Amino acid sequence: KRADSSLSEMKFCVLVCFLSGLLSVVRGEMYTSLLNVKEAVRVERKLIDYLRTYIDHELDRLEDIKRFYAKVSDLHTELYKGPAVTMANPLVAFTLIKRLHSEWLNVVYSNEALENLQALRFSYEEEEADLPNLEDLQGAAKGLMRLQDVYALQVSSLVRGRFQSVTNGESVDVYMPAVSVQLSGDDCFLVGKVAYEQEDYYHSVQWLEESARLFRGAGEEWSPENEGTLEDALDHLAFSHFKTGNVSYALSLSQELLHHNPMNGRVLQNVKKYEKLLVAAGPPGGTGLTRPSSSFLRTRDTYERLCRTRGSQRRHFANPQLFCDYFTNNNPALILMPAKREVVSLQPYVVLYHDFVTDTEAEDIKSLAQPGLRRSVVAAGEKQATADYRISKSAWLKGSAQSIVGKLDQRISLLTGLNVKHPYGEYLQVVNYGIGGHYEPHFDHATSPSSPVFKLKTGNRVATFMIYLSPVEAGGSTAFIYANFSVPVVEKAAIFWWNLHRNGEGNDDTLHAGCPVLIGDKWVANKWIHEYGQEFQHRCSLNPQE
């Protein structure tokens, strides 16, 4: 029995370790899916209820203390100010001695406040598994900085809850959100601190400047929920300016910091160092703020420009070869219900099919995918790994002929004329983007023989069929970098393009990106179709140049 018990305990420990490991994988990825962010609202509602209970218990405790205070005060006001004979009353003397011996002791050393606080902490810890951790906070902060960069947003406007950029010297609204929230000095401090810890002083300077301004405006007022203070903001900001070459301003901020904390030895040393540097260097100056480079984004300027134009460069009237029509693909099944086709580009060939799915189908697909959502990965040699240049969660859906997934496969096959059954088509991948969710420029087809794309042993990805399952208020366009156009999110539509030339070579013009989502909850479903199985549907060309 003892051996069985030990074995059971070992199995239990293994299970606990497995679940703990699984939990650690799931936590820290809340920021990568807006679905998870929405679920966090439910958790905070529970925390609000716990805090309300704590406040009620504390108010009851304080009422008891106030009652005791009033009782003792009244005795000193009415009874003990009377003639000395009052203390000769043994009942009066007894109650005085009893109060001083036990009642004051019970009030001063009461555990009720601690018990109330412990109850609040216990309730909080019950929800801790569903709370964001440091990686989530850092990911959310990076998402804000990504939106700032891609859409050229002013930090000062973001702090006010506005999405504005500067055009011809004036602030212009990029988007007017229906719901807005202003950021606090502590909010800005945490964003700036994330940049600071990555030695990204371009962003840390801008966010910490706003943090210091807001903390100064609040005066000496302190909030218990804040992590940062004016001194913290000045400390990080001064060093950030020093690292960007603005030594004179770093000195000024350090001197301001010493005004609040004159005995800070480290800052005193910094002041001396900055003064020496200024004497040696001559007139003050700075190298200016420079955005950090990105090893993954060699086409950053084009990418960001296309994201900002939001598809405005699609001009059918300028190119008569681009058109809209009702499309049947010469298939009898589409004669009564032809597809609404919009030819967006000829090179590469990109088509948008409007109203490809219904509202109900889109919701069903999202519901099916939700339990299986995991952090999206990218190819890393022969394996796959998460990366900052793809922020989303995804799930793979298999489907029978009768299921909603199977019906979508049939519809895709009718429109494209391709064999999309597994393994000639990959399972349907459903993706939900996170805070500033994006996918930087990439190819869908494999560009290396060791790519995981070839694991199906059905060749390369010849085509992509992507379905927009939700509307997006701002951002989230699909940008084709070398082809120089972008397609905004069109709810319930699907976009299709060929990844390979007829000769089987990759089409470089299909380099594309998912622009960061500025406002909205972006859901898409991807169907990648492979070369094998298409021998009679999409024939190869005898022309090696085609």
Closest C-alpha among 463, 452, 466 to residue 523: 466
Reduced to 3 states (helix: H, G, I; strand: E, B; else coil), residue 473 is: strand
d(CA 523, CA 369): 10
With beta carbons less than 8 A apart as the criterion, state whether 515 and 474 touch: no
Q: Centre a 10 Å sphere on the Cβ of residue 467 and count the other Cβ atoms it contains.
A: 25
Residue 509: φ, ψ to 5°? -70, -5
Question: Which fold would CATH assign to domain 134-278?
Answer: 1.25.40
Three-state secondary structure readout of 221-279: CCCCCCCCCHHHHHHHHHHHHHHCCCHHHHHHHHHHHHHHCCCCHHHHHHHHHHHHHHH
Tally the residues of the chain.
546
Terminal CA-CA length for the chain: 74
Instruction: For residue 413, give the H/E element and its range.
Output: helix 404-416
Q: Centre a 10 Å sphere on the Cβ of residue 512 and count the other Cβ atoms it contains.
A: 27
What is the pLDDT tens value at each position of the chain, 546 positions in all?
Answer: 444 444 444 443 433 343 344 343 345 578 899 999 999 999 999 999 999 999 999 999 999 999 999 999 998 888 877 666 677 788 888 999 999 999 999 999 999 999 999 999 999 999 998 999 999 999 999 999 999 999 999 999 999 999 999 988 899 999 888 888 999 999 999 999 999 999 999 999 999 999 999 999 988 677 889 999 999 999 999 999 999 999 999 999 999 999 999 999 999 999 999 999 998 876 655 557 888 877 656 789 999 999 998 665 555 556 888 999 999 999 999 999 999 999 999 999 999 999 999 999 999 999 999 999 999 888 776 778 888 878 899 999 997 767 999 999 999 999 999 999 999 999 999 999 999 999 999 999 999 999 999 999 999 999 999 999 999 999 999 999 999 999 999 999 999 999 999 889 999 999 999 999 999 999 999 999 999 999 888 877 777 666
d(CA 519, CA 296): 24
Burial class (CB in 10 A: 0-12, 13-18, 19+), 354: middle
Q: Centre a 10 Å sphere on the Cβ of residue 213 and count the other Cβ atoms it contains.
A: 16
Instruction: For residue 343, give the H/E element and its range.
Output: strand 339-346
CA atoms lying within 13 Å on the CB side of residue 232? 18
With beta carbons less than 8 A apart as the criterion, state whether 58 and 113 touch: yes
With beta carbons less than 8 A apart as the criterion, state whether 471 and 428 touch: no
Closest C-alpha among 455, 432, 448 to residue 528: 455
d(CA 91, CA 113): 32
Asked if omega into 332 is within 30° of 0 (cis), the reply is no
Please report the pLDDT score of residue 100 as a whole number.
92
Largest CA distance in the chain: 122
Question: Which fold would CATH assign to domain 323-530?
Answer: Jelly Rolls (2.60.120)
Within 75-176, where are the H helices?
90-98, 104-108, 112-126, 134-150, 155-159
Please report the pLDDT score of residue 462 as a whole number.
97
Reduced to 3 states (helix: H, G, I; strand: E, B; else coil), residue 212 is: helix
Please report the pLDDT score of residue 20 as a whole number.
41
Residue 77: φ, ψ to 5°? -80, -40
d(CA 438, CA 475): 10
- C-alpha angle 152/156/162, rounded to 5°? 75
With beta carbons less than 8 A apart as the criterion, state whether 440 and 296 touch: yes
Q: Centre a 10 Å sphere on the Cβ of residue 497 and count the other Cβ atoms it contains.
A: 24
Positive or negative, the CA dihedral 442, 444, 450, 453 is: positive
Reduced to 3 states (helix: H, G, I; strand: E, B; else coil), residue 184 is: coil
d(CA 241, CA 218): 23
Reduced to 3 states (helix: H, G, I; strand: E, B; else coil), residue 281 is: helix
List of residues 6+ apart from 174 with CB closer than 8 A: 151, 153, 163, 164, 165, 308, 474, 518
| DSSP bridge partners of 346 | 349
Q: What is the pTM of this model?
A: 0.86
Q: How far is CA 215 from CA 220, 228, 265, 477, in A?
A: 8, 9, 23, 37
List of residues 6+ apart from 415 with CB closer than 8 A: 327, 329, 334, 339, 353, 496
Instruction: For residue 531, give the H/E element and its range.
Output: none
d(CA 229, CA 251): 19
Please report the pLDDT score of residue 297 as a whole number.
66
What are the structural domain ranges in the chain? 30-130, 134-278, 323-530
List of residues 6+ apart from 395 with CB closer than 8 A: 369, 370, 371, 372, 373, 374, 429, 430
d(CA 438, CA 479): 11
DSSP per-residue codes, 356-395: -S-HHHHHHHHHHHGGG-EE--EEETTEEE-BTTB-EEEE
